[in-house]
Amino acid sequence: MISKTEALQAMKARRGEETIILFHNGEFFEAYEQDATVVATVAGLASTVIDGVLTVRIAETEQEEISNTLLDAGCAICISEMRDSDGNFVVNINQAEDYDEQDE
């Protein structure tokens, strides 16, 4: 099982500490920990603690607009689509046991 924090650390190792990682998680895109703080500040969104992790949730319908806001502010972003070993999208990162990452 991979936790949200582990998923974030893995993506930061691949994409760089300064890159904002947005995880597609169910009907939302989520930013965790320090990325959540940046997204909340730049995009004016509320943050909350989910499963013990500081999180900002962005509805799928708002992802493009928020991503553009982050890019306009000079942020580098990476959208992470996590899939299980059968290629199905993982809908809840905390439930992922075996995944492959696909970045856009």
Q: What is the pLDDT of residues 20-50, one digit of tens each?
A: 999 988 889 999 999 999 999 999 999 999 9
Please give the structure tokens belonging to residue 55: 């999180």
Using a cut of 0.85, tell me whether the model's pTM lies above it.
no
For residue 20, the cross-strand partners are: 77
pLDDT for position 103: 47
CB-based contacts of 27, cutoff 8 Å, min separation 6 = 59, 60
Average pLDDT over residues 92-102: 50
End-to-end CA distance of the chain: give it in Å, rounded.
23
What is the rounded CA–CA span in Å between residue 58 and residue 43? 10
For the domain made up of 4-99, the CATH class stated in words is alpha beta
Average pLDDT over residues 52-66: 96
- On whether the CB atoms of residues 95 and 88 are closer than 8 A, the answer is no
Residue 77, helix vs strand vs coil:
strand
Query: Where are the domains positioned within the chain?
Result: 4-99
On the question of pLDDT at 101 being above 60, the answer is no
**How much is the CA Rg of the chain, to the nearest whole Å?**
13
